[in-house]
């Protein structure tokens, strides 16, 4: 299996950023790390191993990128407005640098699906919901979809427009909603075991229902905790069965 690490200086983030590519063919799967982890986290915790047959068969081609959560919501030393601004800069890095890289690596504008677990799920879902013209869908695992979970009472425009349960509730632009409805693959999934928050997924699902955006809400059992064994089962299942 092809495994290549790439690095460049990001003008949007003013720092070097790494990503790793797995595979040669298939739809693009863009992975966002959990918490303050890096671009190799999914490899270290054997999630890449769990989807290797799907990579080797050409079903998907995987792009795993770095987070900057330790420079935003997980950094208690930063002022909250700077955390929110840094989050927005990260979005611009994804849209203006990572997406073109993926298209170039795939030699076309390949369908791009986002995925991530925990805080990575918030990024994966948010990146899709903000730009359904660029992103074909998302597999969001065990996420909380309100930035209020992380902003500790602070809430400016950068928070609002990166907090899916807030901006989606008030979204009335039918062009954007139609892009979400147009044959997109939207999967919201969570376990119901230790440290999971299924109500967060249910709330996001109810908002999508109200906006008539087709999606799948899949709640796994009480034996599925907020941990790697759960996600190693979820991700290959949804890639194979739903993408």
pLDDT mean across residues, the chain: 96
The DSSP letter of residue 27 is E
Q: In this predicted structure, what is the pLDDT of residue 152?
A: 87
Indicate the pTM of the whole model: 0.97
pLDDT confidence of 121, banded at 50, 70, 90? very high
Average pLDDT over residues 15-28: 97
pLDDT confidence of 1, banded at 50, 70, 90? very high
* Residue 21, pLDDT above cutoff 80: yes
User: Where are the domains positioned within the chain?
Assistant: 3-242
Average pLDDT over residues 82-109: 95
Cα dihedral 185→70→13→97 (10° resolution): -20
Phi/psi of residue 233, nearest 5 degrees: -90, -40
pLDDT confidence of 107, banded at 50, 70, 90? confident
CATH class of 3-242: alpha beta
pLDDT single digits (tens) 127-145:
999 999 999 999 999 999 9
Alpha helices, DSSP H only, in 65-211?
80-93, 99-105, 119-130, 148-151, 157-160, 164-167, 174-181, 198-210
The two structure tokens encoding residue 63: 């792009």
Q: In this predicted structure, what is the pLDDT of residue 109?
A: 73
Q: Which of 217, 81, 88, 102 is nearest to 151 (CA)?
A: 81
pLDDT confidence of 223, banded at 50, 70, 90? very high
């Amino acid at each position: 299996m092809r495994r290549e690490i790439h690095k460049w200086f990001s003008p949007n983030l003013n720092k070097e950023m790494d990503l790793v590519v797995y595979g040669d063919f298939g739809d693009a799967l863009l992975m966002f790390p959990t918490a303050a982890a890096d671009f190799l986290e999914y490899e270290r915790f054997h999630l890449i191993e769990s989807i290797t047959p799907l990579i080797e068969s050409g079903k998907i081609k995987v792009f795993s990128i770095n987070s900057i959560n330790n420079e935003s919501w997980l950094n208690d030393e930063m002022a909250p407005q700077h955390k929110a601004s840094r989050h927005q800069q990260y979005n611009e890095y994804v849209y203006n640098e990572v997406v073109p890289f993926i298209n170039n690596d795939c030699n076309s504008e390949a369908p791009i699906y986002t995925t991530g677990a925990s805080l990575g799920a918030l990024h994966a879902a948010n990146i899709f919901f903000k730009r359904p013209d660029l992103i074909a869908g998302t597999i969001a695992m065990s996420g909380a979809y309100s930035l209020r979970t992380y902003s500790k009472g602070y809430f400016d425009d950068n928070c609002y427009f990166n907090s899916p349960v807030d901006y989606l509730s008030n979204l009335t632009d039918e062009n954007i909603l139609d892009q979400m409805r147009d044959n997109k693959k939207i999967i919201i999934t969570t376990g119901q075991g230790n440290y999971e928050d299924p109500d967060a997924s249910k709330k996001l699902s109810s908002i999508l229902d109200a906006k008539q955006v087709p999606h799948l809400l899949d709640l796994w059992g009480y034996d599925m905790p907020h941990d790697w064994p759960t996600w190693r089962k979820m991700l290959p299942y949804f890639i194979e069965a739903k993408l």
